[in-house]
Amino acid sequence: MKRTNYNGELRLANVGEEVTLVGWVSTRRNLGSILFIDLRDNTGIVQLCVEDPNKAPDVRNEYVVQVTGVVRKKDVPNPKLPSGDIEVLVKDMKVINKAENPPFIIADKTDALEDTRLEYRYLDLRRPCMLNNLRTRAKIVKMTHEYLDSNRFLEVETPILDLATPEGARDYLVPSRLHHGCFYALPQSPQLFKQLLMIGGIERYYQIAKCFRDEDLRADRQPEFTQIDVETSFMDQEQVLDLAEGMLKRYFKEIVNVDIKLPLRRLNYWDAMDTYGSDKPDTRYGLHLQDVTEIFKKADFASFKDAKYIKGILIPGKGKETSRKKIDVLSLEARKFNLKGILALKVEEGKLEGSFAKFLTPEIEEELRSFLSLKEDDLFVFASSKDRRDIDFGLGAIRTLFA
């Protein structure tokens, strides 16, 4: 089998050439006197034209075929395809492998549920968006090697079979064949090894490291993951931040062609927590936490007497649509973070409404309105706590629900 070209790379410059292509049948359209086939490989799709369908083998979606034909200009270009200006007039077609009807549509806009896609992962990977994800990941890994190599870092692979060391999760254990009753642990990170490398004089180490952590699945947690692992000697915090920013700048420029300006905005831990209620905040939207401790401490409200922190979130224009039932749901979320619940105030027809409003003196209300710049239909949800982290994390969770 001699492939001469890749499907998605054919252009007008190839018109008149005889080509041999291979790939999967993406779609077919039999018009009776003529048959059109979209042939897909890992570079994209090209349209095949079979002028005598009776001489072509019977092909269905996801059949693997080899075709030989001549590239010609299309009468009506397809602007949706990079190869949309041309088509291939088929002279010969051979079926390499037949296929049963796939369990879902092999396209970016598929009808499959995630469980089905995972069960037939080999079919899911044929979708262009999935292939693009793998290509992007490979490009990032390549760029990481180039960037860190250029900054005098040395790539060192550290062992996978390791001793169990205290980390943030439980270990995965592998029994030893030679030493009965003894186990290796898969590394949660290469921490000890890279510290030994620093002692050994390597100075600047990196690794695209596999890590394993036995913990519950979350949006940002899974048992096996890959991280860009870096350790340095003789570098201060600013140098490490500059190194990381330079790497991110290169990623954004080469992957999505966005030129980010350096230095990036920097937040220390408590600035992030007190503003966003998270140590990994989403800064794309506002809804910042507001500290109203000094204002609400003046109110004659028993639950606030022992509270060290009283904070809230102002949500503009959400007063009317936020029901009592929604506030109860927010209270349930807040209790996960050791908060007693959520209180709410709304601006309705110029007045502050809510169960807490009766505890506000005219002076407190005026100070609150000025501090928050309250407007009609604004909603202010708030809570109290003795613990700074509890109230920040709790309100941070509430913040994401209103995003």
Kindly list the averaged pLDDT for each block of 10 residues, start to end, along the chain of length 403.
93 98 96 94 97 86 97 95 97 96 93 94 96 97 98 98 88 95 95 97 98 89 94 97 97 96 94 97 96 95 92 96 94 95 96 94 96 97 97 97 92
Number of H helices, E strands in the chain: 11, 15
Query: d(Cα 330, Cα 206) in Å, to the nearest integer?
Result: 43
DSSP codes, 332-343? HHHHTTT----E
Q: What is the pairing mode between strands 309-315 and 289-291?
A: antiparallel
Q: Which CATH architecture has domain 271-402?
A: 2-Layer Sandwich (3.30)
* Cβ neighbours for 91, distance < 8 A, ≥ 6 positions apart: 18, 68, 69, 70
The residue extents of the domains of the chain are 7-97, 133-234, 271-402
Would you tell me which CATH number, out of the four given (2.40.10.120, 2.40.50.140, 3.55.40.20, 3.30.420.40), belongs to the domain 7-97?
2.40.50.140
Q: What is the pLDDT of residue 32?
A: 85
Q: Do domains 7-97 and 133-234 have the same CATH topology?
A: no
Q: What is the pLDDT of residue 228?
A: 98
Q: What is the pLDDT of residue 1?
A: 67
Quote the pTM value.
Answer: 0.83
Q: Which CATH architecture has domain 133-234?
A: 2-Layer Sandwich (3.30)
